Structure 1
Amino acid sequence: MSDALAPPAPAGSAVLPRLLPFVAAVFLGFLAIGLPLSVLPLHVHDALGFGAVLVGVVVGLQSVATVLTRRHAGILSDTRGPKRAVLTGLAASALAGVCYGLSLLMPGGSIGALAAILCGRVVLGFGESLFMTGALSWAIATVGPRNAGKVMSWNGIAMYSAIAAGAPAGLAIQEAGGFGALALAASLAPLAGLAVAAMVPAVPVPGGVRMPFTAVIGLVLRPGLGLALGSAGFAVLATFAPLLFAARGWDGAGLALTAFGVAYIAVRLVAGGLPDRLGGKRVAAGSLAVEAVGHLIVWQASSPTMAVAGAAVIGLGFSLVLPALGVEAVKRVPAQNRGVALAAFVAFFDLSIAFGAPVAGGLVGSWGYPAVFLAAAGAALLSVLVTATDRHS
C-alpha cells in the first residue's frame, strides 16, 4: 500500500491522468451495486418466494443505509483521511457480496436467506457512503478545489457506467453460474477497486478547527436544496417513463432511458470542466433550465419519438447539475470540513431520489402520468430560482 503523500495539485491537461485511478476505483466499487441490481429483485421474488413489498425493501434498504451513514463517512474522511474512508468502504462493499453468498447456506430456508441479503444491503449502503465520500474528497485534494467540477463529473461517469454495465452483466453471470457466482463477482469487483486505491498516494489530513455537522449543513443548504429539486426529475423519468409508454401503448420505453444516459455521459465527457471555468451557479442555472425544457417535451409528447427526444434533453440538462452545485458547496467550507460538506451535499441527492418518485406518484391518480413530468419541470425551474438568488460569494 502506498502511504506517500500526493504531489502538488496539477493544472490543465494534467488533471485527467491524476483522476483516472479514482475513476477506476469508483467504477469497480459501484459494480458491487450494479451487478446485483437486476438480479436481486428476481432472486428474492422467484427463488425465495417473497412479494413485491419485500422486494422493494431489499432494493431500497441500501439507499437508506447510505443516507444514514453519510455523516459518519464525512467525519472519517476529514479526521482519518479520505484514503482510509475509501479503503474501508470498498472492503465493506466486498463484504456485502459475501453476505449474498452466505444466504445460500443459511438455515431457516427463505427467512434465513432474506436476513443475510438484508445484512448485505445495509453493509453495502455503508460501504458506498464511505468510498464515494472519500473518493470525492481525496480526488479534490489531489487535483485541487479549482478542479472540483471535473472530479464530480468523472466520478458520476464512473457511477452510471458501472450501473449501466453491471446490471446486464449481473444477469448474464446469474444465468451462467447461478446466484453464488453473482455473489462472488459482487465481492471481487470492489476488492479490485481496493487494490487500485491502495496504490494511490494519500493526502495530508488538514488541521484546524472543524465545524459542527449542523453548521456545515447550513453552509451547503442552498446548493443542496437546488440539487434535491433538480434531481427529483431524474427519479420521475426513471420511474414513470416506462409506465407512460405502457399506458399509451408505445414500444421502446428502454430507449428513453438509453437516450437520457447517452446524453448525460456525452455532456460530462465534453463539458465536464465548465463549472470550474464558468462558475457553478451559472452552469447549474442553465443546466436546470434545459432539464425543465426536457420534462415539458415529455409532458406534451404525442409520440414515442418525441418522448425519447425529451428524455435526451433531460439528460443534457441534468448532467452538470450535481458537479456545478457541488463546486458551490465545496468552496463554502474549509479543507478540514470538506468530507462532511460533500457527504451532506450528496445526501440531498439521496433524499430526492428516495422521495421524489413517491411524491410525484401521488399526482398520477388524479392527473395521469404526463402530470408528473410537468411537476418535474416545475421543480427544475424552482431549483433555477433557488440557485440564481443565492447571494453567497
Structure 2
Amino acid sequence: MFVTDHPKLAYRYVLALTGALLLSYLAVAISLPVVSIYVVNVFHLSSASGGLSVGISFLSTILTRGHAGISADRFGGKICMQRGLILYAIAGLICLIASLPQLSVAGGYAVLIAGRLLLGLGESLTMVGMTSWAIGLMGHARSGKVMSLVGMGMYGAFAVGGPLGLALLDHVGFAGLMGVCTVLPLLGLIAIYRLPPVHPQAGQSESFWQIIGRIWRAGAAVGLQGVGFAALGAFFPLYFLSHGWSYAGLGLTFFGVGFVLVRLLCGHLPDQIGGMRVAIVSLTVEACGQYLLWLAPGPGLALFGALLTGLGCSMVFPAMGAEVVKQVPPHLRGTAIGGFVAFQDLAYGATGPVVGLLADHSSYSSVFLIGGLAATLGLWIAAVSRHRLVSQAPL
C-alpha cells in the first residue's frame, strides 16, 4: 500500500509528524529566553556572552542545513528526523550538565555553548527530515499543505515557549528546565516510531550549491519576507516605547493572530492556485503592513500594521517552498528544502544586528522602512519568477 494513495491516512501521519516537530521546537523555544538570563545572572558574564549563547544555535542551524538536506536524501526523512530528535535530547542533557556546581564558570559556559551548537544541528536534521518525510507521504502535489503544517508546528511552539520557559525557570530552575528540554524530543521520537518511512530514491546527485542555483529566487523571496518579521519581533516594543505609546507588548500578538488565521484558512492555496500567485499577494500585504508601521501616527494604526505583516508573512514560506519542491526531482528534495530554509534562517539571524545599527543612527520606525523595502524586493523577485515560469510553459 502506498500512503499517497490514501490521502486521509497520509494526512493523519503528517499531523503526527507535526506534533513531534512542535515538541522538538518547544525544546528550542522554552530555552530561548532563559539561556541568556542564566549566563548573565548565574555565571555573571556579560550580555554579549549571553547573546552568544542564544545566537550560536541559530548559527549552527544555518551552517548545517545543507548537511541535513543531504542526509534526508541519502537515508530518508524518517532516519534524518530520528537522528535530529536524539541530538535534541543529547543537547538538552549537555546544557543540564553545564549547571552542575562542580564546574567552573568558564567550564560551565563552554559546556553550555557545546550543547547549544548541538541543538542547532538537531534542529536542522529534525525540521528538514520531517518536511522531506511528510512530502513523501503526502505527495508533491500537496507540498504546500505540508509546508503550512511545518510552519504551524514551529511558530506554535514559539508562541507558547517563551512564557512557558520563564515559568519553568521560576518553578524548577535551569537544570529542571533543561531536563524538560531533554524529555520533549524523546516524546516526539516515541510518537513517530511506528510511522511508515518513505525510502530514499535513486538518482543522479548534485552538489548543494548546484541546487542552490536552481532555487535561489524562491529562497531570496522567503529570506526577504523574513526581514519584516525579524524587525517586528526585535524592535516593536522599543518602537512603541520611543513614541510613548501604550500596548507595546501587543505587536507579536497582532502579528500572530494574522499569521495563524491565514495559515488555517489558506494553507491549501499554494497547491490549488500555485505558490507564486500566493507569494505575490502575500508579499504585497506584508509590504503594506511594514510601510504602515513606518508611517503610523498612532498606536492603533501601528498595531494594524503588525496585523497586516502577520497576514502577509504567513503564506510566503509554504508558497515558495511548494515551488522549490517542484523544481527538483524527489531524490534531491531534502537538499533543496535545507537550502531553501537556510535563506530564512539567514534573514532572521542578520536582520537584528543590521537594522539595529540603523535604529541607533536614525529611529526605530526606520527599521520598518527596511522591512517594507525588503518585502517589495521579494515581491519583485516573485513576480519575475512567475513571469519566467509562464513564458517557459508549453503552449
| TM-score category (smaller protein) | over 0.9
Residue aligning to 1:78:
73
Task: Tell me how far apart the structure 1 counterparts of residues 224 and 346 of structure 2 sit (CA, whole Å).
Answer: 10
Give the total of aligned pairs: 388
Name whichever of 301-310 and 272-281 sits farther off.
Answer: 301-310
Gaps of 5+ in 2: none
Q: 1:10 to 1:357 in 2, by over 3 A?
A: farther
Contact 1:9 1:144 in 2 (8 A): no
- In the alignment, residue 267 of structure 1 is paired with which amino acid? V
Contact 1:261 1:315 in 2 (8 A): yes
Q: 1:71 to 1:21 in 2, by over 3 A?
A: same
Task: Tell me how far apart the structure 2 counterparts of residues 64 and 80 of structure 1 sit (CA, whole Å).
Answer: 24
Task: Tell me how far apart the structure 2 counterparts of residues 15 and 246 of structure 1 sit (CA, whole Å).
Answer: 48
* SS of residue matched to 1:38: helix
Residue aligning to 2:121:
126
1:10 CA drift (Å): 4.0
Contact 1:106 1:116 in 2 (8 A): no
Contact 2:259 2:311 in 1 (8 A): yes
Task: Tell me how far apart the structure 2 counterparts of residues 6 and 26 of structure 1 sit (CA, whole Å).
Answer: 23
Task: Tell me how far apart the structure 2 counterparts of residues 19 and 9 of structure 1 sit (CA, whole Å).
Answer: 14
Contact 1:18 1:143 in 2 (8 A): no
* SS of residue matched to 1:62: helix
Residue aligning to 2:316:
321
Residue aligning to 2:21:
26
Contact 2:78 2:197 in 1 (8 A): yes
Residue aligning to 2:170:
175
Q: Which of 169, 177, 202 lines up with 2:197 in the alignment?
A: 202
1:6 CA drift (Å): 5.7
Task: Tell me how far apart the structure 2 counterparts of residues 122 and 179 of structure 1 sit (CA, whole Å).
Answer: 18
2:8 matches 1:7: no
Deviations 1:46-93 (A, max 9, x none): 111111101110010000000111111111100111111100000100
- In the alignment, residue 33 of structure 1 is paired with which amino acid? V
Deviations 1:275-298 (A, max 9, x none): 111101110010000000101111
Contact 1:152 1:323 in 2 (8 A): yes
1:112 CA drift (Å): 1.4
2:151 matches 1:156: yes
1:380 CA drift (Å): 0.5
RMSD: 1.4
- In the alignment, residue 245 of structure 1 is paired with which amino acid? F
Q: 1:211 to 1:9 in 2, by over 3 A?
A: farther
Contact 2:13 2:195 in 1 (8 A): no
Contact 1:223 1:345 in 2 (8 A): yes
After superposition, residues 1-393 of structure 1 pair within 5 angstroms as: 7-11=3-7, 16-105=11-100, 107-390=102-385, 391-392=388-389
Q: 1:269 to 1:211 in 2, by over 3 A?
A: same
Q: TM-score, length-normalised on structure 2?
A: 0.95
Contact 2:11 2:138 in 1 (8 A): no
Task: Tell me how far apart the structure 1 counterparts of residues 294 and 280 of structure 2 sit (CA, whole Å).
Answer: 21
1:231 CA drift (Å): 1.1
Q: TM-score, length-normalised on structure 1?
A: 0.96
Gaps of 5+ in 1: none
Task: Tell me how far apart the structure 2 counterparts of residues 100 and 73 of structure 1 sit (CA, whole Å).
Answer: 22
1:106 CA drift (Å): 6.0
